[in-house]
A and B are shown apart, each in its own frame.
Chain A
């Protein structure tokens, strides 16, 4: 296993189009997180899953955003009707939910540009 994998690495889309990103976590990790990072800022939490259950969603996750993790393995993040303000790096992370194990491993991110 080579770590958390995100696809695509880069996506350019026209405003109003829908986009979907995929995250493949480290195989034994049961927690999966999505973050968004805009230029010059730190990553901001969007949502997280434990197995297939989505346990928390940030207020940043508007109704145009939806995340799924149907089988508790990979996850998808879909943005509908993209806006220029959605342009950012979308980061996925995974971790193993065992007490005292608090290291999350991040993928390389998907950079979205909305034109």
Chain B
């Protein structure tokens, strides 16, 4: 069975600090997708990134960066120079790839990030 572990339940940082959210996953599949979603207080899940299991290149998008390490089954997310608007719950997720796109996704329990001004 698939499993996603986000060991950090809550993190507080002061604005402009960098913060890394950890994600460790388990799967028997050789082909899978990993995601990060942001859930602000409004409740809507906002897609941030998708990576497939064959692409271990790290990715940077503005203040966001992701470190995918297959050897340790980790997919960590770093926010550089955090801002108050980054305050939200962040979910890491894992999807089985059965062909044809998005399939059943297993979410972690989330990390609540509070950025203090």
> Are A97 and B44 neighbours in the complex by a CB distance under 8 Å?
no
Interface locus among A12-20, A62-70, A78-86, A104-112: A104-112
Which residues 18-59 of A sit at the B interface, judged by CB distance below 8 A?
Answer: 31, 40-45, 48, 56
Which residues 62-108 of B sit at the A interface, judged by CB distance below 8 A?
Answer: 91, 93, 95, 97, 99-108
> Are A42 and B110 neighbours in the complex by a CB distance under 8 Å?
yes
Interface size in chain A (residues, C-beta < 8 A): 28
**Minimum Cβ distance to chain B for residue A106 (Å):** 4
Interface size in chain B (residues, C-beta < 8 A): 26
> Are B50 and A103 neighbours in the complex by a CB distance under 8 Å?
yes
The reply on B42 being an interface residue by CB < 8 A is: yes
Who on chain B is nearest to A109 by CB?
B43
> Are B109 and A42 neighbours in the complex by a CB distance under 8 Å?
yes
The answer to whether A43 and B101 touch (CB under 8 A), given A103-B50, A107-B44, is: no
Who on chain A is nearest to B99 by CB?
A99
> What are 12 A-B pairs with beta-carbon distances under 8 A?
A40-B109, A42-B107, A42-B110, A48-B103, A93-B45, A95-B102, A96-B101, A100-B101, A102-B97, A103-B47, A104-B102, A105-B47
B residues engaging A (CB < 8 A)?
4, 33, 37, 42-47, 50, 91, 93, 95, 97, 99-110
Given A42-B109, A48-B104, 20 more pairs with CB closer than 8 A: A31-B101, A31-B102, A41-B109, A43-B91, A45-B106, A56-B104, A95-B101, A96-B101, A97-B100, A97-B101, A98-B100, A99-B99, A100-B101, A101-B101, A102-B50, A102-B95, A103-B50, A104-B102, A105-B47, A107-B44
